[in-house]
Amino acid sequence: MSRHDTTYLTSLQREILCGLTAGSLTTLIVHPLDLLKVRVQLLASNKTIHNKGYLFIIKDLIHTAKIHHNRNKFWENLIKESYRGLPINLIGNTVAWGLYFGLYNHSKSYIFDNWHKINPSSDKKEPNKSSVFLVSGLFSGVMTTLLTNPLWVIKTRIMSTSKTNSHSYTSIMNGFKSIMKEEGPRALWKGLVPSLFGVSQGALYFMVYDNLKLKFNIYNDKNNHYEQEKSRLRKKTENYKIIFITSISKMISVSAVYPFQLLKANLQIIKSLHNTNNNRNSSTVTTKVHNERFLTLTKQIYKDNGFKGLYKGLLANLIRAVPSTCITFCIYENLKAFL
């Protein structure tokens, strides 16, 4: 077996490995933009500074680096502040991308391979590709969201405050223990409702992305040596195409469901107003309180800022999400072709 022979990897293992690698490298590069996005989103529910924006957050980061640390190490302190929450963000994105890519491609392949068993009345007709991409994306998104939501709750809370804040979490474990002690395990699933609505963003993205891949003919068959060789010869061109279709797909999908991301981020930092022990015997009461918060928060943001308030931080999100997704998918597609 040659040095680059990776045929011992199954298709699912290859997808997970590519997803893990792409997710971790992208997070390391764009983490400061993610922190900026989170903090701008959280301004929407703050009645005193809800009209502030990106410059306010940037100035606050600079002010914190100057005031609360050794002034002789300003740039070092600014970098530390900008990369606050990196470990949990790295874990969350690595796990989420690995899960999502693995589940998405496995479910997509399963539907295509077993279409006539799933739908015997289809005769010899092939399934609608857009529908398969959308359904696979929704399934993968729901499963990934359910499994990773606790990581995003801790991430949002860590990234929402400076390390110098007396109420901030000092580490991932400190955050986990504080939530469990003060609010109970239910708090780890705060923001789940808008997160599940937001799953449609990933599904929309992959539906547009995979359809554009078909249109631009950049699907590579691992078992077709001619296609592999052609892919190597056209690698530079393919990367330009990947960047183009990734940018278009991401802008469409993010803009379509952005309000759910904003609501999720704000819900995840709301401290529980009720002792979860009092509600433990009544899941109905707990669910009602959570849903009321979701609706109340939406009304509050709309009242304070109008419809545009639900899109606060969209520009920062696109500035972060489009380049980061381009990096992720270039790494993913090239690594998958290599493996």
Q: With contact defined as beta carbons under 8 Å apart, do 121 and 74 qualify?
A: no
Is 6 inside any structural domain?
Answer: no
What average pLDDT does range 266-272 have in this prediction? 66
Q: Under DSSP, is residue 7 helix (H, G, I), strand (E, B) or coil? A: coil
CATH number at residue 271: 1.50.40.10
What average pLDDT does range 147-176 have in this prediction? 88
For residue range 32-53, list pLDDT tens digits in order: 988 988 888 777 766 666 667 7
Is 2 inside any structural domain?
Answer: no
Is 3 inside any structural domain?
Answer: no
Residue 336: what pLDDT?
A: 82
Q: Under DSSP, is residue 314 helix (H, G, I), strand (E, B) or coil? A: helix
Residue 125: what pLDDT?
A: 73
pLDDT bin (cut points 50, 70, 90) of residue 324 is confident
Is 4 inside any structural domain?
Answer: no
pLDDT bin (cut points 50, 70, 90) of residue 216 is confident
Is 1 inside any structural domain?
Answer: no
pLDDT at 149 over 80: yes
Is 5 inside any structural domain?
Answer: no
Residue 271: what pLDDT?
A: 54
For residue range 172-199, list pLDDT tens digits in order: 999 999 999 998 998 898 888 888 888 8
Model pTM above 0.85: no
pLDDT at 223 over 50: no
Residue 219: what pLDDT?
A: 58
What average pLDDT does range 156-169 have in this prediction? 84
Is 208 inside any structural domain?
Answer: yes
Give the C-alpha separation, 202 to 249, whole Å.
10
Domain count, the chain: 1
pLDDT bin (cut points 50, 70, 90) of residue 69 is low
pLDDT at 247 over 80: yes
| Helix extents (H) in the chain | 11-43, 54-67, 74-82, 86-113, 115-118, 129-159, 172-182, 192-215, 225-233, 235-267, 276-279, 283-305, 314-338
Domain range enclosing 133:
11-338
**pLDDT, the chain, mean:** 80
What average pLDDT does range 289-313 have in this prediction? 76
pLDDT at 14 over 90: no
Residue 134: what pLDDT?
A: 93
Give me 228's structure tokens: 């592999």
For residue range 206-215, list pLDDT tens digits in order: 999 999 988 8
Give me 210's structure tokens: 């995979």
For residue range 280-294, list pLDDT tens digits in order: 343 333 334 344 477
pLDDT at 108 over 50: yes
